[in-house]
Structure 1
Amino acid sequence: MAPKDWRAPGPDPLPPVLRAALEVFARHGYHGASIRTIADAAGLSVPGLYHHYPSKQAILRAVAEATMTEMLEHTTAAADDAGSDPAARFDNIVECLARFHMARRDHAFVASTEMRSMEPEVRARHVAQRDTQQKMLEDAIEAGVESGVFECAHTADAARAVASLCVSIASWYRTDGPLSPDEIVQRHLGFARGMVGAARA
């Protein structure tokens, strides 16, 4: 379902149990989080938590998939909003990723750093969603090169670099920091445009 406004992720859509688990994972890490700690944070008994999710790994999978699904929905809406203009599509995707990683700091941080804790099947699904996101960036860069608005010899590498730039926001952004979200977006757009050789960088 397409979001009403890709620039404004809005309220956290995670159900209460997963939101509680997310907070525990963000604070203690996956391996430092116990089922009892998650259950306590969710206001449930351990058997009550197992009624919702059969294992801690299932909880991590649900959190990561919900995060990636929401991000892909917003990014798709941002790309579509730009129409056929490749530079605008690139800008929209970068802005969307920057804003998402500010609005969903814990979600993005856990989904990124806890890849190491995912079982192979869960990790494969997560990587596939991440690759879909990166391919959207790469396609926008390639379209910009073809139209002459970008000068970039290594589009796949540039897409990875831009994606990493945006993902890193979740590790340092603070709502009480010196820069507003709009200022952060503009700075990161400048960095990203420079990576792809945009004429207006």
Structure 2
Amino acid sequence: MPRRLAKDLASFADLAADYEADKDYRIVQVPRPESSTAVLAPHGGGIQAHTSDIARAIAGAEFGLYLFEGLLRAGNFTSLRLRGDRFDEPGCLQMLQACDRVVSVHGLGSPGEVVLLSGRDLALRAAMAQRLVAAGLTVEDAPARLSGSDPNHVCNRGRSGAGVLLEISMDLRRSVRRTVLVRAVREALLSGATGASEVFPPR
């Protein structure tokens, strides 16, 4: 029987039934028990290029890290890109249960060096936007069709029920200026900015 494509996958269980761990995909988890912040790249490896690298750089030595990375020789995006609102890999959700802040790094198909922000933690989003703009990057709110406001989106599956979704264009992901993005996002996180409960009630 042919394996299903990503568009037909309703959950991680569907993906795991058709694809093999450590052959077709790899999961990387680096928990930081001393931190209540996690940085994710659920479409890492060959699924959305450079998102794993950017998530690693943002997490640094301070924040928890979770990567789901496509390892197929071709077709990672069409085969393994489980939508953010369907991404329920058990190890990821367990890790997020101990986190109040979640930042999920995704790719964006728009031209130019652009960052789209969404997610339910409006205060952290605002802090990131301020620093990204000050660093000279183009930042926009994500349109509704791409919005991370869905409570089921993996960026909002932490303890507070609110996080931030960063969607980064390919031009910026492969540019040296991605170091500027990483620095700005880390500054917002290290500043302690958050305020999810002021806008959305905890789940």
For this structure pair, what is the TM-score category when the shorter chain's length is used for normalisation?
Answer: 0.3 to 0.5
Q: Structure 1-normalised TM-score?
A: 0.33
Larger of the two Rg values belongs to structure:
1
Structure (1/2) with the larger strand percentage: 2
Structure (1/2) with the larger helix percentage: 1
